Structure 1
């Protein structure tokens, strides 16, 4: 079946099978959060992005195979409500940026900075620090083709900066410099809420985002 990224509350995960990695997207919680399970096809090791809510459903998605890490994209509560229970059940390492780590409900065992690597099995993901939605928001990039953006980039714009011009300028600048100026149009964007998109679909709107300031 063709992956679309369209998921619904209480519904099944949508699964994308890549040669090296399986990506499963699940909607959880009352705010339409997306959680992503990445699993290395060679080793079976897994990584969960944002243990947002509904730990029972997340643990069902994880199943009997191990996960070695849970990455939290940023400090906002709706992205970590299930973190403590998932970590307790799996023994996974916790990963986040140090600027947001103190706001999480469990200690972060592996703080990551811009340019660091996160490995799941034999698969490597690049850490991209995107400042503005929160000070420590991060995205994860796989093979310059699959980008997990948390709440920093969505279809139609960057993440919420609460109408703060300085925060918007920082987030917009980081998104342009560290994502759009670096990656091709084909790069698929997996956001923290809602539908997926591609950089090519969003790139023509960058001047509009800049002009409106949100």
Structure 2
């Protein structure tokens, strides 16, 4: 491993489109690695700042936490420009095809390990926000990349097609809240949080159907 393991954030802006609607959103794109290699988490809106953050490093994978338009916008382009496989859970194939019909990706399954910078990111299948949503756990750094499954203040939205509130609650309770409380949660939008900050509020979210 060359240099210390680090986590860089790139914020990009653009549209999230689903169910005939379109919303302006800011997305967090995460670049995880050392001086020589990296993994890109989510390919949102604009390739240039993501490529700049990679800075010529070898890219092991471009990982999509789910298939919504704002998280896969430039995934095929990044895959080509960075000579890296694009990974997505097959449960989100229908969403992927809304943006990239005819473009391929590699399947990202629960428990899949992605090696980078002498450590591994571990995929955790967390359906609910979408059928194929995944989070990525980086135990060495005490970090979780939650996509749109868990935010500061509650679970991701479940009011649109292909989403389900009881399912996302089950994913968070059974998969994410079993991680150490000090685990830092790097979210798909907005500010981060920790597992310990969010876990005490689960009953409140269920009661109000967040």
TM-score range, shorter chain: 0.7 to 0.9
1:131 is displaced (CA, Å) by 0.9
Asked whether the equivalents of residues 73 and 139 of structure 1 are also in contact (C-alpha less than 8 Å), the reply is yes
1:142 is displaced (CA, Å) by 0.7
Asked whether the equivalents of residues 29 and 41 of structure 2 are also in contact (C-alpha less than 8 Å), the reply is yes
**Which aligned runs of 4 or more in structure 1 are off by greater than 4 angstroms?**
none
1:185 is displaced (CA, Å) by 1.4
Asked whether the equivalents of residues 65 and 133 of structure 2 are also in contact (C-alpha less than 8 Å), the reply is yes
Residue 155 of structure 1 corresponds to which residue in structure 2? 152
Aligned-partner Cα distance in 1 for 2:135–2:203 = 22
Cα root mean square deviation, aligned:
1.9
Q: Residues 178-204 of structure 1: CA distance to partner in whole angstroms, max 9, x if unpaired?
A: 111x11210100010000001111122
- The correspondence for 2:62, drawn from 61, 65, 70, is 70
1:174 is displaced (CA, Å) by 1.1
Q: Residues 144-164 of structure 1: CA distance to partner in whole angstroms, max 9, x if unpaired?
A: 720001001001110111189
Matched residue count: 191
Residue 197 of structure 1 corresponds to which residue in structure 2? 193
Asked whether the equivalents of residues 76 and 86 of structure 2 are also in contact (C-alpha less than 8 Å), the reply is no
Residue 23 of structure 1 corresponds to which residue in structure 2? 7
Q: Indicate yes or no: 2:112 matched with 1:127.
A: no
1:20 is displaced (CA, Å) by 5.3
Asked whether the equivalents of residues 92 and 133 of structure 2 are also in contact (C-alpha less than 8 Å), the reply is yes
Asked whether the equivalents of residues 20 and 123 of structure 1 are also in contact (C-alpha less than 8 Å), the reply is no
Q: Residues 90-131 of structure 1: CA distance to partner in whole angstroms, max 9, x if unpaired?
A: 11111111111454323113x122222121242111111111
Runs of 5+ unmatched residues, structure 1: 1-18
Q: Give the secondary structure class of the aligned counterpart of 2:52.
A: helix
Runs of 5+ unmatched residues, structure 2: 15-24
TM norm structure 1: 0.83
Structure 1 residues 72 and 191 mapped into 2: Cα distance closer, same or farther (>3 Å)? Answer: same
- The correspondence for 1:85, drawn from 77, 80, 98, is 77
- Larger strand proportion of the pair: 2
TM norm structure 2: 0.85
Structure 1 residues 91 and 101 mapped into 2: Cα distance closer, same or farther (>3 Å)? Answer: farther
Aligned-partner Cα distance in 2 for 1:84–1:96 = 12
**For 1:33-182, what aligned pairs fall within 5 Å after superposition?**
33-40=27-34, 44-101=36-93, 103-104=95-96, 105=100, 106-109=103-106, 111-143=107-139, 145-162=142-159, 167-180=164-177, 182=178
Q: Residues 3-47 of structure 1: CA distance to partner in whole angstroms, max 9, x if unpaired?
A: xxxxxxxxxxxxxxxx85210011101311000001145xx2110
